[in-house]
Amino acid sequence: MLKEFPGLARAVEAFARSEFQEAERYAFAVRQEALRSKNRLLEALATGWIGAALTQQSRYQDAVEHLQLAITTLNGLDRPELTARFHNYVAVVFEELGDPDAAFVSFAHALAGAQASGQRELQARILANIGEAYVNLEQFDRAREPLRQAAALLEDLEDDSLLGWVRCAQGRLAHGAGELEGAHGLLVQAVELTDRGIANRGRAESRVGLGTLYSELGRHEEAVAMLEEALSIAQSVSNRREVFKTRLALSEAHERAGNLEKALENYKAFHLARTEVFDEAARATTHLQRVETELSKERFEREIWRLRNVELATALERLEEQARQLVRLSVRDGLTGVFNRRHLDEQLPSELERARRTNQPISVAMVDLDNFKRINDTVGHAVGDRALQVIAEVIGSLLRQSDFVARYGGEEFAIVFADTNCEAAAAASERIREAIASRDWADIHPDIRLTASFGVAQADATSDAGKLLDEADARLYAAKAAGRNRVVASAVPPVVASSI
């Protein structure tokens, strides 16, 4: 296929070297040329490679759009044998967004296509992804066979980068299973192979694997040196997920070595990088819903018999259920279970239109937890995460069925009060504020106490969603400025509580 389209070869070669931004740029130029020449096959392939490059940059929303467009176009051109690689990257997106069940369904579809078309390199890559996914889930027994199959397929393909990545996954498997001697041999081999290969991301991953093992074995200087190399490589290929994973490994290595200052420095950098990745992940969920819905329409019966892994065949049979689950999950915040920002942005305009149509009031409250960063900094993010979950439960327990709450971002929530004027919304917000302030938080951590500030606004005849949220946000800032732990509303006197 690359011989037929030599312009696309530059993008594929850059991708193989882990130069993902370059790969995206080359593929984009090819797609522009294909659009001018009206070559739909080339356009679809270039679009798919753009999606693959975006996946490796953790730019999930754009990645999903491009991958799905490529798959749809190739199916329409009756070239389904060319979609396997792009289904593989859809699966990678699912896995990195924390939905392994949906990932295994897409991996199964990708593997069936690769086997049907005889693409050994792609089969090995997909099997390696499947094995690594099981390693990440600490399901080590399930990881062994797909990784063994991947290594066997690569025996005579002379792809050091891909074989090194498989050895790295096998080494991480052995490490997780407590087979430390075997893990060391596999991870050393992974570093040697990836150094001979051209994929820089594989060089970073193998070093993280070996560095993490060295740290656990008490070989602190070797661990830190190996992980610092990995960080430099990960940063050079603009892979944000690999950067935050390496930062976390460095933080843990420094902590084991007793260098708490460096441990904290790397943990803060890890948290910042991870936040960037997961903010992007939240924006991608609606597009993933469309991908899964499209996949659910396809029929895979002709391909199931080709699958070598019985579990993957079973996963295909669950595709319809996964699609239904994804519809639900795509509108929910992964941590707290309440609606996410995407759902708020989509639903609030409809609620405003309904309120105008029925001539009923509608109000919004913006909620921000007071001094929440102090909790994360002093008692840790795990405590902070649990506190956010409880806050969501408290808010939800005090809302009517017609109201809804969404996590707006970080420690901020938005509440939509249907058929409710500003005064009533402020009173409801005060009940929630009091419930948060009076709760005994010792079951979460003995050293924390939480309060929240509220800004409430009612829509008028000209309000759109953005304006209404901005007005509520302005009242929230007023509540903060007045001393926190209070409700400030736009059309009624503020409901004030003593600050804490």
Residue 56 domain flag: yes
pLDDT tens for each residue of the chain, 500 residues long: 556 677 799 999 999 888 888 999 999 999 999 999 999 999 999 999 999 999 888 887 788 889 989 999 998 998 888 899 999 999 998 888 778 888 898 899 899 989 988 889 999 999 999 999 999 999 999 999 999 999 999 988 888 999 999 999 999 999 999 999 999 999 999 999 999 988 888 999 999 999 999 999 999 999 999 999 999 998 887 677 788 889 989 999 999 999 999 988 988 888 777 766 555 545 544 444 444 444 444 434 434 444 444 455 455 555 555 555 555 556 788 889 899 998 899 889 989 998 998 899 999 999 999 999 889 889 998 999 999 999 999 999 999 988 999 999 889 999 999 999 999 999 999 999 999 999 999 999 999 999 999 999 999 888 899 999 999 999 999 999 999 999 999 754 333 443 33
DSSP 386-434: HHHHHHHHHHHHTS-TT-EEEEEETTEEEEEEET--HHHHHHHHHHHHH
User: In 10 A of CB 301, how many CB atoms?
Assistant: 8
Q: Which of 296, 325, 354 is the last residue of a domain?
A: 325
Q: Which residues pair with 414 in a beta bridge?
A: 366, 406
Residues 348 and 321 in one domain: no
Residue 335 domain flag: no
Within 331-471, strands assigned E span 362-369, 404-409, 412-418, 452-458
User: In 10 A of CB 424, how many CB atoms?
Assistant: 16
Kindly report the CATH number assigned to the domain that includes residue 436.
Answer: 3.30.70.270
Domain containing 441 equals 341-489
Q: Are strands 452-458 and 487-489 parallel, antiparallel or unpaired?
A: parallel
Residue 379 domain flag: yes
Find the distance separating the first CA and the last CA of the chain, reported in whole Å: 67
Conformational region of residue 495, where left means phi above 0, alpha means psi within -120 to 50, and beta covers everything else: beta
Residue 500 domain flag: no
Residue 199 domain flag: yes
d(CA 135, CA 6): 37
- Name every residue whose Cβ is closer than 8 Å to that of residue 198 and which is 6 or more positions away in sequence: 16, 17, 18, 161
* Cα three-residue angle 323-324-327, rounded to 5 degrees: 90
Residues 49 and 165 in one domain: yes
Kindly report the CATH number assigned to the domain that includes residue 315.
Answer: 1.25.40.10
Give the three-state DSSP class for 282. helix
* Domain count along the chain: 2
Residue 330 domain flag: no
CA 427 distance to own-chain centroid: 37
Residues 263 and 382 in one domain: no
Q: Compute the CA torsion angle 42, 47, 51, 54 (nearest 10 deg).
A: 110
User: In 10 A of CB 240, how many CB atoms?
Assistant: 18
Residues 314 and 345 in one domain: no
Q: Are 226 and 207 in contact (CB under 8 A)?
A: yes
Residue 336 domain flag: no
Q: Are 215 and 184 in contact (CB under 8 A)?
A: no
